[in-house]
Amino acid sequence: MIDHDAMQVALRARLVTLSVVTTGSINLSATGDTYVRPSGSFIDDGFYAGMEITGSGFDEAANEVATVILEVNALTLQVDQTLTTETDGAGKTLTAGLPSQRAWENVKFDPTSGDPYIEEEFIPGPSSQVTLGDENTNTIKETTPLYRITVKVPFNVGTGAINKYVDSIIALFGHGTPITLSNGDVLRVRADTGPYRGQVLQREPGWASAPVTIPMRLYTT
């Protein structure tokens, strides 16, 4: 059968694995509202103002909470929270993934000013019968849903962050990507018309947004 709920659950499970950018395990310190590295470059890594990042490997728990980048320089990242002073040490990582604020369909959500977030839409799409028979026989049916994720980043931070988020989502749902549902059916990203993005818009105060649409196809009995 065509199980739209199973499709949305499986798509969401893949989306939350999104990896956008990471420093990898490097030497990092924290002071005031800034992460500092002795070498390398946050710019070259692909960090941008407006991204949400989390730390790992730090001694201080306050340095591992989700925070939003305000300014990026080669050796420093200024964020929107006060960090706990921590001296330079190896084995520390800063990573941007899917923003922790997520407007899932039909779930109450109030965005926090200054934080990036995503909005989810699942559009069931049309279905058709592709083998001969009637509804009571073991015929094969095709359905072509769309999964749309709108990325929203703080206003006035440029397009770097939003483009990096969007490109990473498109890469995560590449042409032909199989997504197995809980009932055993396999949903696939379409290869004839793969994921595509929309333009950056400023439709609501405080955020700029850009949608990513992922066309899917499922065959089922």
The answer to whether 8 and 148 have CB atoms below 8 angstroms apart is: no
Measured between alpha carbons, how far is 115 from 105 in angstroms, rounded to an integer?
A: 19
Which residue's structure tokens are 């595509």? 196
Architecture of domain 19-97: Beta Barrel (2.40)
How far are the Cα atoms of 125, 178, 181, 207 from residue 143, in angstroms, in the given order?
7, 15, 14, 34
The SS3 call for residue 161 is helix
Q: Enter the CATH code of domain 4-17+99-220.
A: 3.30.2000.20
Which residue's structure tokens are 């749902």? 173
pLDDT tens track, the chain, 221 positions: 789 999 999 999 999 999 999 999 999 999 999 999 999 999 999 999 999 999 999 999 999 999 999 999 999 999 999 999 999 999 999 999 999 999 999 999 999 999 999 999 999 988 888 777 776 667 888 999 999 999 999 999 999 999 999 999 999 999 999 999 999 999 999 999 999 999 999 988 999 999 999 999 999 88
What are the tokens at 127? Answer: 């279905």
- As annotated, the residues of the chain forming the CATH 2.40.30.180 domain(s) are 19-97
pLDDT of residue 221: 80
- As annotated, the residues of the chain forming the CATH 3.30.2000.20 domain(s) are 4-17+99-220
Residues 6+ apart with CB under 8 A from 167: none
Measured between alpha carbons, how far is 19 from 92 in angstroms, rounded to an integer?
A: 17
Measured between alpha carbons, how far is 66 from 79 in angstroms, rounded to an integer?
A: 10
